[in-house]
């Protein structure tokens, strides 16, 4: 067995220690990848390539594998998110109840494409396959809180309110 | 090796009585007996994954069509590798592959040396009933010897497997999901900047289409050489014994 240690660039970043702790908890096993990606996103807010390289080296996984897993799940973000996030549910019930209109309304009003962040960094507009609250269709999750039975106008109002609240 | 302990099964493929080791797949047994089942993602020497579904076969007593490359034999099994139903499904799979990206043979470097094209000819695909999606995918020519053209990729995963299993570099993998799935090197880094790539070119030569090619090839010039594959696999097995 060759004892290969992937060269690692030292970092003073405290957030990295949190990620390291998570990996150690799982014995730096290959299978700890998804847990570790969660830890990275919790600590950094998103997955940046440099940190993913560190993760790959520590878990002894190929870079392409790490990138493949990270991009497979919609939960993981590859870019920094805005101050607020609005996750649009694109499940069947929400789709029928007008998720498409909500999407168009937000895209037009905030000038942001689904999956992107507004230029001022205030709002990230994301989608989820289904948030599991079909009774509230069409539903969005704003900053972790589900808001249901929306019309395009109600959604814009709600988002304006959330953004204005801390200004 | 414990060859003695492996039991032998007898079964029927296309009405012919054949025998096989219990751990062999229907595809392997068919090939040994000169029965040619169409395949795309399969390549001798790589782990079968059952991704393309072209090797689907019918088995008496089952409504399901099963992929021959990952289905092991059972005693008394009756396998049919050709039927109207199978042909219909196989053609449909090919049509879906053709419609998903850009497979215009006339302008492809792999024209005449393409597994996808050969299959279409063999199965008599003369019309694509689905609308072509024609997405605009990237062409990565950053490598000094090779080019990756996502527009021709069928996501069979041969490159991913040969790189991980035989070369041991695992430079390739899939990213994303569904219709957005793409084959990438490292962290979706341009191929030419990939640190893990050993530039061995195995991926290029196992690629069934013109998705991975050598630089400087023009239309119909990209013939692939795969003679190394069974040889490498054999040598590995010999080493382990």
Q: Are B40 and B139 in the same domain?
A: no
Q: Are B139 and B219 in the same domain?
A: yes
CATH fold for the domain made of A84-165:
Glutaredoxin (3.40.30)
Using CB atoms within 10 Å of the CB of residue B30, give its burial: 0 to 12 exposed, 13 to 18 middle, 19+ buried.
Answer: buried
pLDDT band at A79; cut points 50, 70, 90: confident
* Domain of B53, in residue numbers: 8-82
Min Cα separation B189/chain A (Å): 9
Min Cα separation B140/chain A (Å): 16
Q: Which distant-in-sequence residues (6+ apart) come within 8 Å of B151 by Cβ?
A: B101, B102, B135, B136, B137, B139, B211
Q: Are B218 and B134 in the same domain?
A: yes
In the block, residue with structure tokens 């139903």: B85
Q: Which residue has the higher pLDDT, A102 or A8?
A: A102
Provide the number of structural domains found in chain B. Answer: 2
Query: Is B185 at the interface with chain A, CB within 8 A?
Result: yes
Q: What is the mean pLDDT of chain B?
A: 94
Measured between beta carbons, the chain A residues lying within 8 angstroms of B175 are 64, 67-68, 71-72
A14-72 and A84-165: identical CATH topology: no
Residue B236 placed within a domain: yes
Task: Report the C-alpha gap between B1 and B8 in whole angstroms.
Answer: 16
Model pLDDT, residue B76: 96
How would you list the strands of the sheet with B8-13, edge to edge? B16-21, B8-13, B78-80, B56-59, B65-67
Please state, for a pLDDT cut of 90, what percent of chain A lies above it. Answer: 81
Task: Report the C-alpha gap between B34 and B239 in whole angstroms.
Answer: 29
Q: Tell me the average pLDDT across B52-68.
A: 96
User: Which chain B residue shows the shortest CA-CA distance from A6?
Assistant: B196
Residue B114 placed within a domain: yes
Task: Report the C-alpha gap between A65 and A55 in whole angstroms.
Answer: 11
Boundary (domain end) residue, out of B33, B63, B82? B82
CATH fold for the domain made of A14-72:
Arc Repressor Mutant, subunit A (1.10.10)
Task: Report the C-alpha gap between B67 and B57 in whole angstroms.
Answer: 6
Please state, for a pLDDT cut of 70, what percent of chain A lies above it. Answer: 95
For B231, other C-beta atoms within 10 Å of its C-beta total: 11
B78-80 vs B8-13, strand pairing mode: parallel
Residue B150 placed within a domain: yes
Q: Are B136 and B56 in the same domain?
A: no
Q: What is the per-residue DSSP string for A62-114?
A: -HHHHHHHHHH-TT--SS---SEEEEEE-SHHHHHTTHHHHHHHHHHHHT--T
Boundary (domain end) residue, out of B19, B51, B82? B82
Boundary (domain end) residue, out of B65, B82, B99? B82
Which residue in B40, B11, B16 sits closest to B26, CA to CA?
B11
Q: Is A70:A76 a contact under the CB 8 Å cutoff?
A: yes
CB contact under 8 A, A62 and B169: yes
User: Which chain A residue shows the shortest CA-CA distance from B174?
Assistant: A68
**C-alpha distances in angstroms, A60 versus A31, A53, A74?**
11, 10, 24
List the single residue in A52, A53, A62 with the smallest CB-CB distance to B170. Answer: A62
pLDDT tens-place string over residues A22-57: 999 999 999 999 999 999 999 999 999 999 999 999
Best of B161, B164, B173, B193 to disrupt the A interface (most A CBs within 10 Å) is B173
The pTM (predicted TM-score) of the whole model is 0.86
Q: Are B164 and B210 in the same domain?
A: yes
Q: Are B77 and B93 in the same domain?
A: no
Which residue in A78, A82, A142 sits closest to A112, CA to CA?
A82
Q: Are B147 and B119 in the same domain?
A: yes
List the single residue in B173, B174, B177 with the smallest CB-CB distance to A62. Answer: B173
Measured between beta carbons, the chain B residues lying within 8 angstroms of A49 are 187
For residue A115, pLDDT over 90 is answered with no
Residue B2 placed within a domain: no
Q: What is the per-residue DSSP string for B1-44?
A: --GGGS-EEEEEETTEEEEEETT-BHHHHHHHTT-----SS--T
pLDDT band at B168; cut points 50, 70, 90: very high
Sketch the domain layout of chain A as residue ranges.
Answer: 14-72, 84-165
Q: Are B95 and B76 in the same domain?
A: no
- Whether cis (ω within 30° of 0) applies to the bond prior to A166 is no
pLDDT tens-place string over residues B62-109: 999 999 999 999 999 999 999 999 999 999 999 999 999 999 999 999
Q: Are B68 and B171 in the same domain?
A: no
């Amino acid at each position: 067995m060759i004892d290969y240690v992937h060269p690692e660039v030292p970092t003073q970043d405290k957030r990295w220690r949190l990620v390291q702790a998570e990996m150690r908890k799982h014995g730096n096993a290959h299978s700890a990848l998804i847990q570790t990606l969660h830890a990275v996103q919790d600590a950094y807010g998103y997955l940046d390539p440099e940190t993913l390289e560190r993760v790959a080296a520590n878990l002894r996984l190929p870079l392409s594998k790490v990138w493949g897993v990270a991009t497979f799940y919609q939960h993981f973000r590859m870019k920094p998110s805005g101050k607020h996030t609005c996750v649009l549910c694109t499940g069947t019930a929400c789709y029928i109840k007008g998720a498409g209109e909500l999407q168009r309304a937000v895209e037009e009003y905030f000038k942001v494409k689904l999956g992107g962040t507004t230029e001022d960094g205030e709002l990230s507009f994301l989608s989820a396959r289904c948030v599991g609250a079909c009774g509230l269709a069409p539903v969005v999750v704003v900053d972790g809180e589900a808001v249901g039975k929306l019309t395009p106008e109600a959604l814009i109002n709600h988002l304006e309110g959330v953004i204005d609240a801390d200004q | 090796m414990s060859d003695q302990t492996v039991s032998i099964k007898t079964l029927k493929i296309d009405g012919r009585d054949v025998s096989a080791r219990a751990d062999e797949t229907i595809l392997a047994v068919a090939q040994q007996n000169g029965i040619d089942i169409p395949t795309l993602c399969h390549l001798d020497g790589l782990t079968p994954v059952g991704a393309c579904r072209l090797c689907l076969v019918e088995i008496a007593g089952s409504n399901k069509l099963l992929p021959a490359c990952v289905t092991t034999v059972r005693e008394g099994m009756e396998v049919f590798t050709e039927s109207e139903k199978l042909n219909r499904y196989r053609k449909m799979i090919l049509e879906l592959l053709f419609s998903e990206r850009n497979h215009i043979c006339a302008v492809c470097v792999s024209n005449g040396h393409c597994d996808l094209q050969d299959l279409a000819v063999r199965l008599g695909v003369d019309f694509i009933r689905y609308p072509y999606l024609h997405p605009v995918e990237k062409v990565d020519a950053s490598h000094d010897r090779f080019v990756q053209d996502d527009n021709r990729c069928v996501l069979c995963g041969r490159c991913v497997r040969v790189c991980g299993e035989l070369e041991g570099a695992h430079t390739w993998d899939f990213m994303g999901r569904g219709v957005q799935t793409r084959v990438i090197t490292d962290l979706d880094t341009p191929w030419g900047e990939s640190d893990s790539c050993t530039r061995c070119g195995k991926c290029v030569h196992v690629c069934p289409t013109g998705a991975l090619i050598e630089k400087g090839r023009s239309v119909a010039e990209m013939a692939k050489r795969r003679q190394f594959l069974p040889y490498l696999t054999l040598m590995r097995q010999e080493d382990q014994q």
